[in-house]
Amino acid sequence: MGSIDTSTRAESGSDPIPTPNGTANGLHAGEDSIQTPAVDSTGASAENESLRKRRGSGVLPLEVGTRVMCRWRDGKYHPVKVIERRKFPCGGVNDYEYYVHYTEFNRRLDEWVKLEQLDLNSVETVVDEKVEDKVTSLKMTRHQKRKIDETHVEGHEELDAASLREHEEFTKVKNIATIELGRYEIETWYFSPFPPEYNDCSKLFFCEFCLNFMKRKEQLQRHMRKCDLKHPPGDEIYRSGTLSMFEVDGKKNKVYGQNLCYLAKLFLDHKTLYYDVDLFLFYVLCECDDRGCHMVGYFSKEKHSEESYNLACILTLPPYQRKGYGKFLIAFSYELSKKEGKVGTPERPLSDLGMLSYRGYWTRVLLDILKKHKGNISIKELSDMTAIKAEDILSTLQGLELIQYRKGQHVICADPKVLDRHLKAAGRGGLEVDVSKLIWTPYKEQN
């Protein structure tokens, strides 16, 4: 079991695993094909010579940085880059396994593979990475280059180049491959900074109620016989049918808060910061049955935010994704803001997919009101009704081209047919929050 005094803060990362035929991070190929100037044949041959590429099976063991084709779980070969390698105990000179990054997909799919999964005829070892970058940039379309840049820094906008390199180096290899949580065994997506004594564990076992984690199944079984919790260690503030929401104070339940952050970081890549859980409230969503209340996701929130942030981090665990829980958590954060009598906004920066989720929520809420409202309505009135920050309302309506600037002020243009079209494009709203079932008073510092 474990936790330490610092933990990991991350934000909005409940996006689905990309499929082999798709692209990661919501990017789509072929949107733009403006070609950059071609390289003349003399220059190209000189560049190729300076790359000094070696091909074939005579390069074993493969070096870190090698590019090669790898057989993925779909049975097809995909391009990868070798991130790390490790030798099998008592193995021969070439008995290595390799940690690879699938260059077409998000980092969450990085994994250890065996030599037989690699097509050694496709091995491409680049000695001079700077020359490779130069040649590659000449061959790429401008849109492709932009996509790679966006993917590279996605979710790390707060980091400078040196800090980003340090972050990527520190987190490049997943330290925990799988976890067991309740009745689910879950493949992890990213590195999480567990205490050093867990560095040699490929699998961790979590108590689904107190979130203590252990190295072995037998330890978990012994723990479960003694653990008297059947729900998160906080106040139940919402119960509707089988859904329940608990508010957990990070100061009162420090170990739980830290363990929740360790767990969440396994599925969240971006916004890696360390913080004191004392300053946060955690809102843990559960499915309830006769065995207890089982966590499906959560969001965290600062107790006091000068920037009007009503959500710091949000996650739906992989087994429960695509069921509307992420949208429910966003809606719940705004219901709390309404109870507080404040406007709210998610903490920035948002990832691309985080922004997509919020744009969808803001669009549905605002257009529902505009469809039903008779007469004129201002941005301020919309903000008061929804607890959505005025800047978020303005940017959403501008993005939908529903705002015009007339005589020095913004005017909302609400044609019913246009509203219906945008509502349909925004998709379903997910599970609704039954406000009558919310029993909650805003946080006040205890003396």
Q: What is the pLDDT of residues 358-397, one digit of tens each?
A: 999 999 999 999 999 888 899 999 999 999 999 999 999 9
Residue 102 carries which side chain, given as an amino acid letter?
Y
- The DSSP output letter for 434 is -
- Structure tokens given for 135: 């040649």
Over residues 347-356, the mean pLDDT reads: 82
pLDDT confidence of 160, banded at 50, 70, 90?
A: low
**Whether residue 142 has pLDDT greater than 70:** no
Q: What is the DSSP string of 116-173?
A: GGEEEEEEEB-S-HHHHHHHHHHHS-HHHHHHHHHHHHTT-TTS-HHHHHHHHHHTSS
Query: Which residues, 6 or more positions from 364, have their beta carbon under 8 angstroms from its beta carbon?
Result: 423, 426, 429
Q: What is the pLDDT of residues 5-30, one digit of tens each?
A: 333 333 333 333 343 333 333 322 22
The mean pLDDT of the chain is 80
- Structure tokens given for 439: 């029993």
pLDDT confidence of 352, banded at 50, 70, 90?
A: confident
Question: Among all residues, which ones are annotated catalytic?
Answer: 347
Q: What's the whole-model pTM score?
A: 0.73
pLDDT confidence of 93, banded at 50, 70, 90?
A: low
Residue 300 carries which side chain, given as an amino acid letter?
S
Helix (H) or strand (E) holding 420: helix 416-426
Cβ density class 48-71: b for 16+ within 10 Å, e for less? eeebeeeeeeeeeebeeebbbbbb
